[in-house]
Amino acid sequence: MPQKMLLSRYGRWKEGRNAMYRKNAWEQYDEKELARLNAFAEKYKAYLDAGKTERECVTEAVRQAKEAGFADLDEVIRSGGKLHAGDRVYRNWMGKDIMLFVVGEKPLQEGMNILGAHIDSPRIDVKQNPLYEEEGIAYLDTHYYGGIKKYQWVAIPLALHGVICKKDGTTVTVAIGEKDEDPVFYISDLLVHLAADQMQLTAGKVIEGEALNLIVGGQPLAGEEKDAVKANVLKLLKDCCGVEEEDFLSAELEIVPAGRARDVGFDRSMIVGYGHDDRVCAYPSMAAVLDFEGTPEYTLCAVLTDKEEIGSVGATGMQADYFENTVSELYDAVHGYCALGVKRALQNSRMLSSDVSAGFDPNFAGVFEKKNAALMGHGVCFNKFTGRGGKGGSSDANAEYIAQIRAIMDEGGVDWQTSELGKVDVGGGGTIAYVCAKYGMNVIDCGIAVLSMHAPWELISKADLYEGYKCYCAFLKNAKPF
């Protein structure tokens, strides 16, 4: 390799070095660009606070889609209407997934430019028969969702979000613990004075799953002799929401950290919040489609999906057929239904699987291979593959596709880097990329670096968030068949 390397406009190569130099994205911003970056970060924080569950994320996405002039695809279907180039539609799937489309000039058979992210995050779910009392304390029994370090979820303020669906067909929406005047909830930990034996346990055993019991009350109901604290909780639920104990059987209640996203650092360069994985990619993916002006050459799509944290399973996970079925409906509204045409539309598409990557953490440097790790503040990152060990469970993007992506990013002035999820034999993880790759489309993982991933509070760089948005906008505009 020549000793003197070409120094590109964006600092991808550094003179005198034989390795790619990833420039800190903050170094390029002038005052106007910093203002745009900070304005986008504020919008993202508002979205993060409004969407602490997948249902809430979809509700907020629908609101923003309508505000941006997107029509409901289901209404188009019911009316037998037709769609044309430039039309903008969304589809809400079961209140837990949303797909946004801008119809392009080219036939759908030539493929779409797709951004795909997930909006579920690790959390603790309430069981179906949860409420009980033990020695004067009322609890909700729980079952954790996704990969968490259970010990991180004790001794912190918690909020309760979700829905309670009653037999009469009505639904009660629950969001308790976010307002200043709200109570919060709590899972207790063992006091350090009595924890000598506990401290000898491995991290995975310090707190067992069945010990994640949520404290929800401690005051007995006057006149009750048995389980008086539980009775008081039930009375409060009845009085405020008309909810009976049996209604827990048809409830989806999620326990999440209480509180809003906050700036971090004297320089306010980072954001701490719940659910960066993967809403830090979902929001800019959605925003890139909502903000697109004019009529695209190829149809644009953002799909925000559920259940990724547990394998993309179920009726709202990416392994279900809802996305393919929605593309079929879109195809019918644009061209008239053709099964082969739908298959070609999916096969010929280009996709960024918008999902987070592990940011290099100097406190735990030993688990990373630094030159292939995502550095905080160095831009959006691309993972050619994820998986475990020998790339197990990965889609592994084609080199030809990556070459096109490189050109799009550099031409669009996007600061970007490549990364892997830690050292080869240390661990690993997966995304929705392999699920979408089954159609034969080109897919690569592309997202934001996160510190403390899957913790109740995660950390990201505002620069990486902003470069992610720029990346998604450039991809939607310029990705093409090759």
List the one residue out of 188, 186, 164, 132 whose CA is nearest residue 253.
164
Residues 231 and 320 in one domain: no
Q: Which two tokens stand for residue 301?
A: 């799509």
pLDDT tens per residue, range 118-165: 999 999 999 999 999 999 999 999 999 999 999 999 999 999 999 999
Tell me, yes or no, whether 457 and 326 share the same domain. Answer: yes
Nearest 5 degrees, angle CA 331-CA 332-CA 334? Answer: 65
Quote the CA–CA distance of 217 and 139 in Å, as a whole number: 7
The predicted structure's pLDDT at residue 295:
97
3-state helix, strand, coil in the chain (%, to 5): 35, 25, 40
Q: What is the mean pLDDT of residues 224-252?
A: 94
CA gyration radius, the chain:
24
Q: What's the confidence (pLDDT) of residue 390?
A: 86
Q: What is the average pLDDT across 7-32?
A: 63
Distance, CA of 275 to CA of 456 (rounded, Å): 8
Tell me: do 354 and 469 sit in the same domain: yes
d(CA 113, CA 183): 44
Q: Is 113 helix (H, G, I), strand (E, B) or coil?
A: strand
Q: Is residue 436 part of a domain?
A: yes
Region 46-70 average pLDDT: 98
Which residues 6+ apart lie within 8 Å of 45 measured at CB? 260, 261, 271, 273
pLDDT at residue 190, rounded to an integer: 97
**Is position 9 within any domain?**
no
Question: Is the CB of residue 379 less than 8 Å from the CB of residue 415?
Answer: yes
**In this structure, are 342 and 383 located in the same domain?**
yes
Q: How far apart are CA 189 and CA 211, in angstroms?
A: 9
Nearest to 360 by CA among 430, 464, 285: 464
User: Which strand (E) or helix (H) includes residue 465?
Assistant: helix 462-478
pLDDT of amino acid 194: 96
Report pLDDT for 415: 95
Mean pLDDT of 79-88: 97
Token pair belonging to 158: 């918690």
So what's the pLDDT on residue 391? 86
Give the predicted TM-score (pTM) of the model: 0.93
**pLDDT for res 12:** 42
**pLDDT higher than 90, residue 89:** yes
List CB contacts of 383: < 8 A, sequence separation 6 or more: 357, 418, 419, 420, 421, 444, 445, 446, 447
Residue 414 included in any domain: yes
Residues 143 and 253 in one domain: yes
- The answer to whether residue 429 scores a pLDDT higher than 90 is no
Last-in-domain residue among 201, 227, 257 = 257
Phi-psi region of 456 (alpha: psi -120 to 50; beta: other; left: phi over 0): alpha
- For residue 126, the SS3 value is strand
Instruction: Tell me which of 211, 232, 257 is where a domain ends.
Output: 257
Confidence band (pLDDT; 50, 70, 90) for 220?
A: very high
Show which of 257, 283, 302 is a domain's final residue: 257
Query: Is position 1 within any domain?
Result: no
User: Same structural domain for residues 115 and 130?
Assistant: no
Place of tokens 């009375």: 235
Give dist(CA 431, CA 330) in Å, integer: 25
Q: What is the number of domains present in the chain? A: 2
In the chain, what percentage of residues exceed pLDDT 70? 96
With respect to residue 33, please indicate whether it lies within any of the assigned structural domains: yes
Q: What is the pLDDT of residue 21?
A: 65
Lowest mean pLDDT among 192-201, 216-225, 314-323, 424-433: 424-433
Tell me the C-alpha distance between 476 and 455, whole Å.
31
311/432 same-domain check: yes
Q: Is the pLDDT of residue 266 over 90?
A: yes
| Same-domain pairing of 39 and 67 | yes
The full 3-state SS of 352-380, as one line of letters, equals EECCCEEECCHHHHHHCCHHHCECCCCCE
Say whether both 134 and 112 belong to one domain.
no
> What is the mean pLDDT of the segment spanning 84-109?
98
Q: Where are the beta strands (DSSP E) in 314-470?
A: 350-353, 357-358, 380-383, 387-388, 416-418, 428-429, 442-447, 449-450, 458-461
| 294-310 pLDDT tens trace | 999 999 999 999 999 99
Q: Please name which of 474, 369, 379 lies closest in space to residue 427, comparing C-alpha atoms.
A: 369
What pLDDT is recorded for position 233? 97
Are residues 107 and 132 both part of a single domain?
no
Question: Is residue 209 domain-shared with residue 285, that is, in the same domain?
Answer: no
Query: Residue 226 burial (CB < 10 Å; 0-12/13-18/19+)?
Result: exposed
pLDDT tops 60 at residue 19: no
Task: Compute the distance between CA of residue 66 and CA of residue 291 in angstroms, rounded to an integer.
Answer: 13
Average pLDDT over residues 259-274: 98
Tell me if 411 sits within 8 A of 447, measured CB to CB. no
Residue type for 448, please?
I
* Same domain, yes or no: 319 and 450: yes
Which pLDDT does position 225 carry in this prediction?
Answer: 82
Q: Is pLDDT larger for residue 361 or for residue 429?
A: 361
Q: 444 has which bridge partners? A: 352
Whether 432 is covered by a domain: the verdict is yes
- Write the pLDDT tens digit of every residue in 395-416: 899 999 999 999 999 999 999 9
CB 411 within 8 A of CB 432: no
Query: In whole angstroms, how far apart are CA 71 and each of 67, 76, 101, 106, 115?
Result: 10, 8, 10, 21, 19
Mean pLDDT of 200-210: 95
342-351 average pLDDT score: 97
CATH of the domain at 210: 2.30.250.10
111 three-state secondary structure = coil
The pLDDT score that the predictor gives to residue 20 is 61
Mean pLDDT, all residues of the chain: 93
**Residue 178 CA: distances (Å) to CA of 173, 219, 252:** 14, 22, 18
Find the domain containing 200 and state its range.
Answer: 123-257
Contacts of 345 (CB under 8 A, 6+ apart): 108, 109, 110, 111, 112, 327, 331
In a domain, 4, yes or no: no
Does residue 360 sit within a domain? yes
Nearest of 442, 142, 445, 119 to residue 312 by alpha carbon: 119
What CATH number does the domain containing 365 carry? 3.40.630.10
